Every structure is written in structure tokens, then in C-alpha cells.
Amino acid sequence: MTAHADREGRTGTPGRTGAPPTPGAPGPAGAPGRTGVWFIGARGSVATTATAGCAAIAAGLHPPTGMVTETPPFADSGLPALTDLVFGGHDTLDCPLSKRAEALADGGVLPHGLPSAVRAELDAADAEIRPGGPLPGDTRTDRELIAAFAADITDFTRRHGLARTVVVNVASTEPAPGPDDPRLPASSLYAAAALRAGCSYANFTPSTGLRTSALTDTVADCGLPRAGRDGKTGQTLLRSVLAPMFLQRALAVRAWSGTNLLGGGDGAALADPAAAAAKNAGKERVLADTFGTAPEGEVHIDDVPAMGDWKTAWDHIAFDGFLGSRMILQTIWQGCDSALAAPLVLDLARLLARAHEAGISGPLPELGFYFKDPDGGAPAALAEQYAALLAFAERLRGRA
Ligand SMILES: NC(=O)c1ccc[n+]([C@@H]2O[C@H](COP(=O)([O-])OP(=O)(O)OC[C@H]3O[C@@H](n4cnc5c(N)ncnc54)[C@H](O)[C@@H]3O)[C@@H](O)[C@H]2O)c1
């Protein structure tokens, strides 16, 4: 167990409707206790879908489709129950979460009627969203911003008597910072704040987060589990299945090109070429990792606001078969982005909370299954990533 975990202790309070929390009281055997999930970008599509979806599944309104941690291999891994997750976060917008959920229902992302069915849970999470930053004109230094964000997270954890809190970055993708930029990007300020508050951390976006030399010492000393980067939900998920197939069948991939059309907040953020470049680097990594070198071809992302949260991704793969015969595989992926991402975000929060409880620290390449640009040491093929995840579930079970 880490120094942080020792200091924080555990609570034994059951779900949201149970008795008031008792910080420090031991939990029932095998139950990690009430767990905070702190979203950076808490009013965004992914965070809103995860918050509403968790409430809907916990209430038995919907099955946990897409949640890998709800499948049998994870049954005895000691993960926090969905009813024990308490949501809060930072955002720079102040639109109420219930309104965001209504907008997602109007767009067909959430089922019709769901926002009103889980209104109480959305309002409870809304009351725990604190102003993010830095907004234009904010004169606070990086150090002051980190301290302020960490204080918000610590306050949330203490007030709710939570056993621990996991911080998950689902804020808008930011451009990669330049080498001479004197300030830390916002994602790194939040990531440093998470560690300062003694929380495990997942970066579901391509933004920098903890991957900056400016935070090397902070990261090395933190003794906390962490995972990243950029959730793997569609085109890259398919690439991590198909690329190993070509390799294993000894088919020579000559070119692999892709185009994405998407709208919503993510589409708007990725209209900035610098933000799109950060995203595309992760998408292309799986090919370079699988083949040893990236084949010819590029990935493009087009913002199509009319598509809202729905994405279409095409891949065009040119490959050679026996005696140099030329062949083509084309794929079309049509997905609802937030519905693909939300269950993964809930999985990550539960796995990191349990890892933290078990005293596991450092980067977790075992969670590479979830990411486009995983932590060092993760295999590139989805099947191998899944095997590593199952071994991790076993490890968590052994320590339950
Ligand atoms: N399938 C997917 O949906 C998917 C897959 C992989 C990665 N992601 C990443 O997840 C992130 C969220 O996607 P989304 O569709 O929810 O986007 P979104 O635009 O709907 O939400 C982003 C939220 O972040 C907030 N935000 C922006 N700057 C902030 C700051 N400095 N501090 C706090 N909050 C801030 C915005 O106000 C907004 O509410 C994006 O970075 C996206 O690339 C999504």
C-alpha cells in the first residue's frame, strides 16, 4: 500500500443511499468502499455519458453493455461497485449536467427519457463540478493552479468520506506544447494536481498530461498508479485487431490510410490542426508498433458539426499477397463516440481505484487495452493487450 493510501485509509459505507460516510472506518471484506471519480472536462459528452450511464446501470435500467469490468473474469477482482462511485470534476463551462444530458438524448447518444430517470444523480454530480482553468486573464501561476485544483479534489474526497478518488482526463484535446513553452499545458496542471491530491490518474485524451519532462520528479515520487493515453474506441481499436492479422498471415501492407468525419465538441477541438496532430500521432502508433515501421499513408480528421457525437471512420489498406498480387481492404466504422468511450472510462476508474487500494503504483501498461498510445511496455495487438488485462485482473484478485 502506498503512503497516500495509508494516509487516506478506507471507508466502509455502502452505496449512495446508505448511512453517512465514516472516514477511516474499515470496509467490508473485499469491498474497496465508496470511490470518487473526478472528471477533468466533467460537462463534456464523454463525462456526461459516463455519469448518466453509471447511474442507469446501477439502478438496473440498462445492462452494462461495453463494460469489460462487468464480465466474468473481473467478478472477484475487488473492483468498486458501480453503486459506490461518486462523481465530481472540473470544467470551464457552467452548463448544468442535466442540460448536457438532455442535449445528448436529443442527439440520440443517450436513450430518450434517461436524463430525467437519473436526474438526481446528475444533479448530485453537477453540484461537485468546480471551475476549471486557466481561463483567459487568469493571473495564477502554474504552481497556484495546481494547488487550487488539488485542493478541490481533496475537499471532494474528504467531504464525501471517500476511500480514494481517481482522476480521469476527458477534457477537450489540446495542442501539444512547444519545446520552449514556459507554461505547463492545462492537462499537465490537472495531472500534477491529481498526484498532489494522492489520486490515481488516467488520461483518456491525447493531451500531454503526465508525459512531460517538467513533471518527471513529481511522477517518479508519487507512488500512485496511472494510465494513458487517448482512449481507443473506434478506428484504432480496429487497427489493433487488423494490423496483427496482416502480420501473422505474412501479407505485406503497402499503405494504410484513414479518414474520420465527426462533430460534437471533439470534432470542433480537432478542427485545430495542432490538436488533430496530437490525436493522429496516437492513431498511427499502433501500425508502427506492429510492423516495426509505419506504412505509407496518413490519417485525416474532418469536423462535420451536423454529425454531432457520431463518427464515421474509413480505412483503406493496400496490401500484397502471394506472388505480389495486389489487394485492398476497406473498412467503415460508424460509431457513437461517447457511447463507445463512457464504458471504458468507467472501467478505467474502477481498475485504477482497485490498483491504488492494492498498493500498485507506476504506469500500468496492463491497461494498454484501453489506449491508442499506451504506457511503455504494452503490446500493440488487441488480443495480447486483452491477455495482459486478464492477467492484471488476476493480480488484483490475488491481492483482494
Ligand atoms: N470516443 C471518444 O469519444 C473518445 C475517444 C478517445 C478520446 N476521446 C477524448 O476525450 C475527450 C473528451 O471528448 P468529448 O467528446 O467529451 O469532448 P467535449 O468537447 O464534449 O468535452 C470536453 C469538455 O472539456 C471541457 N474543458 C475544456 N478545457 C478545459 C479545461 N482547461 N479544464 C476543464 N475542462 C475543460 C469542455 O468545456 C468540455 O465540457 C477529448 O479529448 C477526446 O479526444 C474521446
Average pLDDT, the chain: 90
**What pLDDT, on a 0 to 100 scale, did the predictor assign at position 18?**
32
172 CA → ligand 1 middle, Å: 3
Please state the rounded mean pLDDT for residues 238-261.
96
Name beta bridge partners: 261: 302, 312
**What pLDDT, on a 0 to 100 scale, did the predictor assign at position 7?**
29
Q: What's the pLDDT tens digit per position in 22-47?
A: 333 333 335 678 999 999 999 999 99
**Does ligand 1 lie within 6 Å of residue 90's CB atom?**
yes
**Does ligand 1 lie within 6 Å of residue 265's CB atom?**
yes
The answer to whether residue 199 scores a pLDDT higher than 60 is yes
The answer to whether residue 196 scores a pLDDT higher than 70 is yes
- Residue 42 CA, closest ligand 1 atom number: 39
The answer to whether residue 1 scores a pLDDT higher than 80 is no
Q: List phi, psi (to 5°) of 14.
A: -70, -165
CA distances from 76 to 30, 36, 130, 276, 390 (A): 8, 21, 35, 40, 12
Confidence label for 400 from pLDDT (cuts 50, 70 and 90): very low
Query: How buried is 112 (Cβ within 10 angstroms: 0-12 exposed, 13-18 middle, 19+ buried)?
Result: exposed
User: Which distant-in-sequence residues (6+ apart) come within 8 Å of 187 by Cβ?
Assistant: 40, 169, 171, 174, 203, 205, 207, 208, 209
- Percent of the chain exceeding pLDDT 70 equals 92
CA–CA separation, 372 vs 229, rounded Å?
Answer: 7
The answer to whether residue 52 scores a pLDDT higher than 90 is yes
**From atom 12 of ligand 1, which residue's Cα is the shortest distance away?**
170
- Helices vs. strands in the chain: H and E counts, helices first: 13, 11
- Residue 309 CA, closest ligand 1 atom number: 15
pTM of the model: 0.91
Q: What's the pLDDT tens digit per position in 215-248?
A: 998 898 899 999 999 999 999 999 999 999 999 9
**What pLDDT, on a 0 to 100 scale, did the predictor assign at position 30?**
53
**Does ligand 1 lie within 6 Å of residue 148's CB atom?**
no
Residue entry with cell 472536462 = 41
Confidence label for 316 from pLDDT (cuts 50, 70 and 90): very high
- Weakest-pLDDT range from 93-97, 174-178, 258-262: 174-178
CA–CA separation, 38 vs 122, rounded Å?
Answer: 14
Please state the rounded mean pLDDT for residues 139-163.
97
- Weakest-pLDDT range from 1-5, 240-244, 307-311, 381-385: 1-5
**Does ligand 1 lie within 6 Å of residue 303's CB atom?**
no
By most ligand atoms within 8 Å of CB, the mutation choice from 43, 90, 172 for ligand 1 is 172
Phi/psi class of residue 252: alpha, beta or left (left: φ > 0; alpha: ψ in -120 to 50)?
A: beta
The C-alpha cell at 74 is: 473481473
**What pLDDT, on a 0 to 100 scale, did the predictor assign at position 399?**
52
Q: Decide if 344 contacts 370 (C-beta within 8 A).
A: yes
346 CA → ligand 1 middle, Å: 15
Please state the rounded mean pLDDT for residues 129-143.
95
**What pLDDT, on a 0 to 100 scale, did the predictor assign at position 336?**
95
Residue entry with cell 485525416 = 300
Please state the rounded mean pLDDT for residues 108-121.
97
149 CA → ligand 1 middle, Å: 18
The answer to whether residue 285 scores a pLDDT higher than 90 is no
